[in-house]
Amino acid sequence: MQAVMNEAELAAFLEREFPQVKGDFAIERLTEDGIVMRLKVAERHLRPGGTVSGPNIFALADVAVYLAILARIGPVALAVTTNGAVDFLRKPEAGRDLIGTARLLKMGRVLAIGDVLIRSEGMDAPVARANMTYSIPPKRAGE
């Protein structure tokens, strides 16, 4: 499916609609079947012991799939997560950003399904794997 929003448009949408996470995420690039996103790891993302917290890893997966979908359907703010699961595979490397590579597996009229492989920057072994399902609101007349 052809992208209808580019990286700059997606970044502007994220900043406008979700100012509470401004500065946390960066779009690395759109891919043929998804997107590559970065979680800019800061002190606030860490749990005791110095590792990135599970909720922040989940957030990276969720934002990545959300933006991969919007890249294909346009700025539909009300597309929502209906299911999400994360397998935590190993401890992220201390002091490194996390990189999530999201792939859209299905892009239907009402549901989109994607998976995300998350790695510590510069490392080959994944730290987590997530699968996400989104509900896409029906188009209204004239859209």
In a domain, 141, yes or no: no
**pLDDT given for residue 27 in this prediction:** 97
Q: For residues 76 and 66, what is the distance between their CA atoms, to the nearest angstrom?
A: 10
Residue 140 resides in a domain: no
The pair of structure tokens assigned to 141 is: 């007349």
Residue 26: the pLDDT is 97
Q: Looking at the domain assignment, is residue 105 inside a domain? A: yes
Is residue 2 in some structural domain?
Answer: no
In order, the DSSP letters of the chain are ---SS-HHHHHHHHHHH-GGGTTTEEEEEEETTEEEEEE---GGGB-TTSSBPHHHHHHHHHHHHHHHHHHHH---TT-EEEEEEEEE-SPPPTT--EEEEEEEEEE-SSEEEEEEEEEETT-SSEEEEEEEEEE-PPPPTT-
In a domain, 22, yes or no: yes
Q: In total, how many domains does the chain have?
A: 1
The pLDDT of residue 94 is 80
Q: Residue 142 falls within a domain, yes or no?
A: no
In a domain, 1, yes or no: no
Q: Which domain holds residue 55?
A: 7-135
* Digitized pLDDT (tens) for each residue of the chain, 143 residues in all: 667 999 999 999 999 999 999 899 999 999 999 999 999 998 889 888 888 999 999 999 999 999 999 999 999 878 899 999 999 999 998 889 999 999 999 999 999 999 999 999 999 999 999 999 999 988 755 54
Is residue 115 assigned to a domain? yes
In this prediction, residue 134 carries a pLDDT of 96
- CATH number of the domain residue 34 falls in: 3.10.129.10
* Tokens encoding 96: 């490194």
User: What is the C-alpha to C-alpha distance for residues 38 and 118, in angstroms, rounded to an integer?
Assistant: 9
**How much is the pTM?**
0.92
